[in-house]
Amino acid sequence: MLDFRLPAPRLRHALLAVLASLLAGQVSLAQAELSEESARILASMAPGAPAPIAGELVHIPPTLEDLEASSLHPELKRVIRRGHDIFTNTQQYRGKYVYNELNCDSCHLGAGRVPFSGPVWPAAVTLPDYRPKNDHVNNLEERIAGCFSYSMNGQPPAYGSDEMLALSNYIQWLARGVPMYPDAKLYGRGYPRLAYAAEQPDYQRGEQVYQNQCAVCHGNDGAGLATRGETVFPPLWGDGSYNWGAGISRVFTLASFVKHNMPLGQPNTLSDQQAWDVAYYVDAQERPQDPRYTGDVEQTRERYGDTFHKHSLYGLEVQGRRLGDHDNVGEKDFLKPEALRSRSFD
Amino acid sequence: MSKRHTGLAALGACLLACSIGLSAEPIGDPAQGQAAAAICASCHQADGSGMNIPGAESWPRLAGLDASYLAKQIRDFKSGQRSSPTMQAFAQMLSDEQIPHVAAWFASLPAPSLPSAEAHAPALLERGRQLATEGDWDNYLVPCSSCHGPDNLGAGAVFPAIAGQHPAYIRDQLLNWQKGSRQNDPQQLMATVAARMSADDIQAVAAWLSTQPGATEQKPE
């Protein structure tokens, strides 16, 4: 039987910690490179988060107030505001582009500006780039199409459409002033991997964490909470949630999201062990099929194992049931959007 | 499992969860609560509209708030878990059996339009609107609506409606959370947010929320 096991915590992490403290002098140097204003904002915008280390590129994305105050063309401002509006209220496209209860900012908190919450500006300065997930070079629109296809369990807006323009314009504007293809490591990018905890992630412990820390908002059954026709707390599994191909269906991604962002308003309060355990528990629940499904869950897991599913519980038997062994695609009536296509320059 | 079976299973799970949820909180009967609610009227008014009293203890509007939320607050006053000398005395006058009925009575009343007792500067209101609907993430202040629901009219039994509430009441509660003199929120969710708010933020958000409709039917088309 296939099994999900993380490597044992390695000495490397301990060594890194020692090294980091030895380099403490450089740490303060790196912080000194930040403007006083940036350092102040960073401290309050990422409470409890790791501080920047030497050589990291720290970027504080502009706010909508900065946009209004800028000298950009009024029509450009309108497009950027439209992108922000789509990003924070993606549900306006429910049943068209979005087939679950999520918004972009369900996972990219603070309208995509917050470090350690998958801030979106790095996409603007690192793409086009080769992406192992689909084994070709992706531009920003293709990257956004991936979010719609997997995380929103939906159908991306057409390439070159008004919605794509607005979203990519918003994301690029958030990267204002950052050089293209920067050499430096980007501070707070993505959901940085947590150190492995002392114990392997555990379903029962994860369930305890879930009931104690998450259920008050997301419900005992993970279905979230909707009221007056609007989602307040998004579903974490089931038809209303992301599908088995979403990045956050990987245990390490969810563990990092949880650690750095949850419970809402209380980032970095759970232990690494709690974050791994609850991520394992949530990933051990059922959700809509991976759009890359071949018709056979084991084959799909195998085909996308190295680049993806070795990090998820998809296709594994947990608590007596094999996850992802179904043809339920959720609210939509197709498996894979046509926009997802490969390309090669061979 | 086919899609239909998954749907049925989900429905079953929902019914089960809903019945568990309801059994935890006894369902009150508004009609039975009306008589007992008479003791509340001297402060909260017969129509549950309460009163804004800047500089003293304000009386929150109760009309239209979630019944389970109200019942929990009354029980917390009674047990001392939520502290208010006035409310502790009044809550003692209600039996445990009366509490859900009284809560159901006030929940059944239409949310009143509040008189605009305090004049607010436009900049203050704009800051309040920002905090309530978008948040201020540079200070890790999540928008009120991310928990209190669309239009801040409440979400479920835990997160009460705060739109259309008296400004002095909202202000006092946020200050109480900052001071630690109110602690009956689950997982300190409100206390953590309140701790990051400046005195100006509290004024602003209390002012703006008080200018907002307390019920969906009051929203302008």
pLDDT in tens, A111-121: 999 999 999 99
Chain B positions in Cβ-Cβ contact with residue A47 (cut-off 8 Å):
140, 196
Regarding whether A220 and A159 lie in a shared domain, the answer is no
Query: DSSP assignment, residue B52?
Result: -
Nearest CA in chain B to A85: B134
Residues of A in CB contact (< 8 Å) with B are 41, 44-47, 60, 63, 88, 109-111, 113-114, 213, 216-217, 219-221, 223, 225, 227-230, 232-233, 238-239, 263-267, 286, 326-329
Regarding whether A156 and A74 lie in a shared domain, the answer is yes
Q: In Å, how far is A45's CA from the nearest CA of chain B? A: 4
CB contact under 8 Å between B139 and A44, yes or no, is yes
**Could you read off the pLDDT of A87-128 as tens digits, one per residue?**
999 999 999 999 999 999 999 999 999 999 999 999 999 999
Mutate to test the interface with B, among A264, A293, A321, A329 (most CBs of B within 10 A): A264
B139 touches chain A (CB under 8 A): yes
User: Is there a domain that residue B179 lies in?
Assistant: yes
User: Is there a domain that residue B24 lies in?
Assistant: yes
Residue A6 — pLDDT band, cuts 50, 70, 90? confident
Residue B47 — pLDDT band, cuts 50, 70, 90? very high
B219 touches chain A (CB under 8 A): no
Q: In Å, how far is A236's CA from the nearest CA of chain B? A: 14
Regarding whether B95 and B127 lie in a shared domain, the answer is no
Radius of gyration of chain B (CA): 18
Regarding whether A126 and A236 lie in a shared domain, the answer is no
Give the count of domains, chain B: 2
Regarding whether B19 and B87 lie in a shared domain, the answer is yes
User: Is there a domain that residue B84 lies in?
Assistant: yes
At B11 the pLDDT is 46
Regarding whether B88 and B139 lie in a shared domain, the answer is no
Size of interface A-B (CB pairs under 8 A): 92
Beta carbons of B107 and B67 less than 8 angstroms apart: yes
User: Is there a domain that residue B176 lies in?
Assistant: yes
User: Is there a domain that residue A213 lies in?
Assistant: yes
At B23 the pLDDT is 44
Regarding whether A113 and A214 lie in a shared domain, the answer is no
User: Is there a domain that residue A260 lies in?
Assistant: yes
Residue B218 — pLDDT band, cuts 50, 70, 90? low
Regarding whether A214 and A145 lie in a shared domain, the answer is no
User: Is there a domain that residue A134 lies in?
Assistant: yes
In the predicted model, is pLDDT for residue B40 greater than 60?
yes
Q: Domain of B28?
A: 14-108
Regarding whether B102 and B34 lie in a shared domain, the answer is yes
Mean pLDDT over residues A290-294, rounded? 98
User: Is there a domain that residue B33 lies in?
Assistant: yes
Chain B positions in Cβ-Cβ contact with residue A46 (cut-off 8 Å):
140
Mean pLDDT over residues A264-278, rounded? 98
Regarding whether A305 and A227 lie in a shared domain, the answer is yes
Listed in sequence order, the residues at least 6 apart from B23 whose beta carbon sits closer than 8 Å to its beta carbon are: none
**Percentage of residues in chain B with pLDDT exceeding 90?**
79
Regarding whether B94 and B24 lie in a shared domain, the answer is yes
Chain B positions in Cβ-Cβ contact with residue A265 (cut-off 8 Å):
140, 142, 189, 192-193
Considering only the beta carbons, identify the residue of B20, B137, B188 that sits closest to A114: B137
Regarding whether A267 and A162 lie in a shared domain, the answer is no
User: Is there a domain that residue A98 lies in?
Assistant: yes
Regarding whether A163 and A104 lie in a shared domain, the answer is yes
Beta carbons of A116 and A192 less than 8 angstroms apart: yes
Q: Could you tell me the CATH number of the domain that includes residue B155? A: 1.10.760.10
Planar angle of CA B138, A228, A286, nearest 5 degrees: 80
Q: How far apart, in whole angstroms, are the C-alpha atoms of residue A327 and residue A244? A: 12
User: Is there a domain that residue A20 lies in?
Assistant: no
Mean pLDDT over residues B8-13, rounded? 46
Regarding whether B126 and B159 lie in a shared domain, the answer is yes
Sign of the C-alpha dihedral computed for residues A272, A275, A278 and A282 taken in this order: negative
Regarding whether B70 and B134 lie in a shared domain, the answer is no
Q: Domain of A283?
A: 203-322
At B117 the pLDDT is 59
Residue A36 — pLDDT band, cuts 50, 70, 90? confident
Nearest CA in chain A to B195: A265
CB contact under 8 Å between B137 and A45, yes or no, is yes
Residue B165 — pLDDT band, cuts 50, 70, 90? very high
User: Is there a domain that residue B49 lies in?
Assistant: yes
Question: In the listed set B83, B108, B133, which residue is the last one of a domain according to the structure?
Answer: B108
In the predicted model, is pLDDT for residue B6 greater than 70?
no
ipTM of the complex in this document: 0.89
B38 touches chain A (CB under 8 A): no
Give the count of domains, chain A: 2
Nearest CA in chain B to A84: B134
User: Is there a domain that residue A33 lies in?
Assistant: no
Considering only the beta carbons, identify the residue of A217, A228, A266 that sits closest to B150: A228
Query: DSSP assignment, residue A129?
Result: E
Question: In the listed set B54, B77, B108, which residue is the last one of a domain according to the structure?
Answer: B108
Q: Max Cα separation, chain B?
A: 62
B188 touches chain A (CB under 8 A): yes
Regarding whether B128 and B92 lie in a shared domain, the answer is no
Q: How far apart, in whole angstroms, are the C-alpha atoms of residue A278 and residue A223? A: 16
Q: How far apart, in whole angstroms, are the C-alpha atoms of residue A303 and residue B150? A: 42
Q: Could you tell me the CATH number of the domain that includes residue A150? A: 1.10.760.10
Regarding whether B138 and B191 lie in a shared domain, the answer is yes
Regarding whether A270 and A166 lie in a shared domain, the answer is no
Question: Which helix H or strand E contains A104, and what residues bound it?
Answer: helix A104-107
**Could you read off the pLDDT of A217-267 as tens digits, one per residue?**
999 999 999 999 999 999 999 999 999 999 999 999 999 999 999 999 999
User: Is there a domain that residue A39 lies in?
Assistant: no
At A192 the pLDDT is 95
**Percentage of residues in chain A with pLDDT exceeding 90?**
86
Regarding whether B68 and B26 lie in a shared domain, the answer is yes
Which residues on adjacent β-strands are paired with residue B182?
B82
User: Is there a domain that residue A51 lies in?
Assistant: no
Chain A positions in Cβ-Cβ contact with residue B146 (cut-off 8 Å):
232, 264
In the predicted model, is pLDDT for residue A25 greater than 50?
no
At B20 the pLDDT is 41
Burial class (CB in 10 A: 0-12, 13-18, 19+), B73: buried
User: Is there a domain that residue B117 lies in?
Assistant: no
Least confident of A168-182, A203-217, B2-16, B195-209: B2-16
Regarding whether A170 and A125 lie in a shared domain, the answer is yes
User: Is there a domain that residue B113 lies in?
Assistant: no
Question: In the listed set A153, A174, A195, which residue is the last one of a domain according to the structure?
Answer: A174
Question: In the listed set B47, B78, B108, which residue is the last one of a domain according to the structure?
Answer: B108
Least confident of A12-26, A185-199, B171-185: A12-26
Q: How far apart, in whole angstroms, are the C-alpha atoms of residue A6 and residue B131? A: 41
The more confidently predicted of residues B54 and B104 is: B104
Regarding whether B18 and B104 lie in a shared domain, the answer is yes
